[in-house]
Amino acid sequence: MAEHTGRGRTAIVIGGGLAGMLAVTALRGHADTVTVVERDRYPAGTAFRKGVPHARHLHILLSGGQRALDRLLPGTVAALTEAGARSLYLPRDLVTRTPTGWQRRFDEGRHPTLSVTRPVLDAVVRERALRAAAADTRVEVLEATEAVGLAGDARRVTGVAVRSRTGDRAAGDARVLTADLVVDASGRGSRTPRWYAELGREAPREETVDSGLAYATRMYRFTGPGGEPGIGVNVPGWPGCPRGAAFVPVEDGNWLLTLSGVRGHHPPTDGAEFTAFSATIGDPYVHGLLARAEPVSPVHGFRDTCNRRRYYDRPGALPEGLLVLGDANCTFNPVYGQGMTVAALGALALRDTLDRAGGLGPGAAARAQRAICRAAEPAWMAAVGADRPYVRGPGATAGPGERLTTWYLDRLSARAAIDPVVGAAFRDVFCLTAPPSRLMSPRVVLRTVLLPRRPGLREPAGVVERV
């Protein structure tokens, strides 16, 4: 039997994770009632939960994501810091080892990066989003309730079929909740493409670019002499050595170490083998740190890291009454740290579009979907561009355009490690605060192309440089 979720304009958000809570925020004032359908029961405090297995792994929130989050929910970055998140300025406090050497530690003061475990981040955002929305929208969160289908027909989505869960099992029959708008924010496992078939629609076009990267993560504390290192580090893999590591502080004096590797180089989940793997990445610094760090968790693995986007913004790809946000719309190789920022930029695009359209009128969802997809585009270009060398099949050769782009970006990232001007542009784009065209500004192009290629530093710099 169909139940209406309320009177007036109603919305249902599938998934009460990060994108779901930001969708609630964006819908504030545009829907009278928002019902969040969340498969899990939220844990007390900041424990890990099953529906977000990637939450065990290192997550940083780029400056572009922090700005978007604070525009949606003012004061959230400060609340995260209050909850223990560490603010690491690039490249002063979080230094990258590029294929040509370590970055210089410019005190640029432009790009703080938040480092915190996902349960803390999600709990702070959830609490603030629900509190803020309650001021002008009735929000109901149905925990332990799974979306199992979409209601409606090929032309229009009118609601969501849901089923209660007890523990890991479905309990009782499915029932239908109706709404004027359904937002799918159910993450990388979104079933909307499959549910399209039940509505009599073709699945949206999907593009995947898979480097085959796997993650393994362990939490540590620096208890011995010397204490914590003064900096977080990132040693991404590169084609010559496709194994990497990132080691950053999080709340409560803990540090997260994520090791990664593409196909044939997957990091192990056995503790001793994990430590041994850290000695095989492109630089010995991280392995050296482990001598003074004590593990305080098991090793957790994660394999589904493919870049995947669904073209819900193409003409006719979206029935009326449906929107798709966050990882359900577009997922990225996590090694570039972009997914949460893109979820926040997408939610901001949703809010701005609804504000401009004056609410949930006809065509507003399709316009908002186009804006959400546009907001994801720069991150998509960066991630798939960087992953191309790992993805091309054996024997395939790159065309002249791709060879030129690879040559330029290679030179640019080597220059960015040592040059404050090129470095600032690189970070503006990487942190999703400026469009990729910033990398083609005359000053950046001239310095990249004309200045001689020089190696980076041989080890992480002890000295911070003023710029």
Q: What residues make contact with ligand FAD under the rule CB under 6 A? A: 14-20, 37-40, 51-52, 54, 57-61, 146-147, 185-189, 215, 302, 326-328, 334, 337-341, 343
- Residue entry with tokens 């604070």: 70
Token representation of residue 425? 């542009």
**For residues 40 and 410, which CB has a smaller minimum distance to ligand FAD in the complex?**
40
Residue 144 and residue 40 in contact, taking contact as beta carbons nearer than 8 Å: yes
Give SS3 for 370. Answer: helix
Judge whether 345 and 380 are in contact, CB under 8 Å: no
Minimum gap (Å) between residue 51 Cβ and ligand FAD: 2
| Token pair listed for 337 | 């740290």
Minimal distance, residue 458 CB to ligand FAD, in Å: 27
Instruction: Please tell me what DSSP assigns to residue 167.
Output: T
Assign 282 to helix, strand or coil.
coil
The pair phi, psi for residue 36, each rounded to 5°, is -100, 125
Closer residue to ligand FAD, CB minimum distance, 267 or 282: 267
429: CB partners within 8 A, 6+ apart: 378, 382, 435, 436, 438, 439
**CB 259 to ligand FAD: min, Å:** 12
Beta pairing, strands 322-324 & 181-184: parallel
Report the nearest approach of ligand FAD to the CB of residue 407 (Å).
28
| Cβ–Cβ < 8 Å for 343, 18 | yes
User: With b meaning 16 or more CB within 10 Å and e meaning fewer, what string describes 57-89?
Assistant: bbbbbbbbbbbbbeebbeebbebbbebbbbbbb
